[in-house]
Chains A and B, each alone.
Chain A
Amino acid sequence: MAVRASQVETAGARTRLLLLLLPLAAFLFAFLVLPMLGLLRTSFLPGERSFGATGFSFEQYVKFLGDGYYLGVLAETIGFGVAAAFVSLVLGFPVGYSLARLPPSKRRWRLIIVILPLTLSLVVVVFGWLVLLGRNGLVNSVLVGLGVFETPQRLLFNRAAVLVVLVQQFLPFMILSVMSVVTQISPALEQAAANLHANRFTTFRRVILPLAMPGILSGMTLVFILSASAFITPRLIGGSKVQMVGSLVFEQVTAILNWPFGSAMAFVLLVLTLVVTIGTNAALARLFISRGISRAP
Chain B
Amino acid sequence: MRLDPADRLLAIAGWIARPVVYVGLCIPATIIVAASFTAGEVLRFPPEGFSLRWYQAALSSAPFMGSLWTSVRLACLATIGSLSLGLCAAMALDRYRFRGREVIRNLTLSPLVVPMVVLGIALLQFLASMKLNQTFVGLLAGHVLITVPYVVRTLSASLVLFDRSIEQAAANLRAPPWRVLRLVTLPILFPAIISATVFAFVTSFGNVTLSIFLGTSQATTLPVQIFTYVEQNYDPVLAAVSAVVIIVTLAMILVIEKVVGVEKVA
Contact = CB atoms under 8 A, between A and B. Distances in A.
Contacts of A202: 6
B207 interface: yes
Closest 7 A/B residue pairs (Cβ): A128-B28, A229-B115, A121-B206, A136-B44, A35-B126, A201-B6, A20-B92
A108 B262 contact: yes
A131 interface: yes
A249 B27 contact: no
Nearest to B152: A24
A201 B7 contact: yes
B163 A1 contact: yes
Interface of A: 1-3, 5-8, 13, 17, 19-21, 23-25, 27-28, 31-36, 38-39, 42, 50, 90-92, 94-95, 98, 104, 107-108, 110-117, 119-132, 134, 136-138, 141, 168, 171-172, 175-176, 179-180, 194, 199-202, 204, 225, 228-229, 231-232, 235-236, 246, 249-250, 253-254, 259, 262-263, 266-267, 269-270, 273, 277
Contact of B7 (A122, A134, A199, A263): A199
Contact of A120 (B91, B249, B266): B249
Nearest to B27: A132
13 contacts: A21-B89, A27-B141, A31-B145, A38-B125, A91-B17, A119-B252, A123-B230, A124-B246, A136-B43, A201-B6, A229-B116, A236-B231, A266-B115
Given A5-B94, A266-B117, A259 B230 contact: no
A249 B117 contact: yes
Given A108-B262, A179-B266, A121 B208 contact: yes
Given A120-B206, A141-B45, A225-B113, 19 more contacts: A1-B162, A2-B164, A27-B144, A27-B148, A31-B145, A32-B119, A36-B122, A114-B266, A121-B249, A122-B206, A134-B43, A172-B25, A200-B10, A201-B9, A229-B115, A232-B208, A235-B231, A246-B115, A262-B121
Contacts of B27: 128, 132
Given A24-B148, A127-B226, A35 B163 contact: no
A125 B28 contact: yes
Contacts of B245: 120-121, 124
Contact of A32 (B93, B111, B168): B111
A244 to B, nearest CB: 10
Residue from A32, A33, A34, A124 having most chain B Cβ neighbours under 10 A:
A124
A253 B121 contact: yes
B165 A3 contact: yes
Contacts of A200: 1, 6-7, 10-11
Nearest to B9: A201
B178 interface: no
Interface of B: 1-2, 4, 6-7, 9-11, 13-14, 17-18, 20-22, 24-29, 31-32, 35, 42-46, 84-86, 88-89, 91-98, 104, 107-108, 110-111, 113-119, 121-126, 129, 141-142, 144-145, 148, 162-165, 167-168, 199, 202-203, 205-209, 212-213, 222-223, 226-227, 230-231, 234, 238-239, 242, 245-246, 249-250, 252-254, 257, 261-263, 265-266
Given A17-B92, A90-B17, A180-B266, A120 B257 contact: no
Contacts of B246: 120, 124
B28 A270 contact: no
A91 B263 contact: no
A269 to B, nearest CB: 5
Q: Specify the main secondary structure of chain A where it touches its partner.
A: helix
B31 A128 contact: yes
Nearest to B45: A138
Contacts of B124: 253
Contact of A95 (B6, B17, B42, B231): B17
A38 B115 contact: no
Nearest to B129: A38
A255 to B, nearest CB: 12
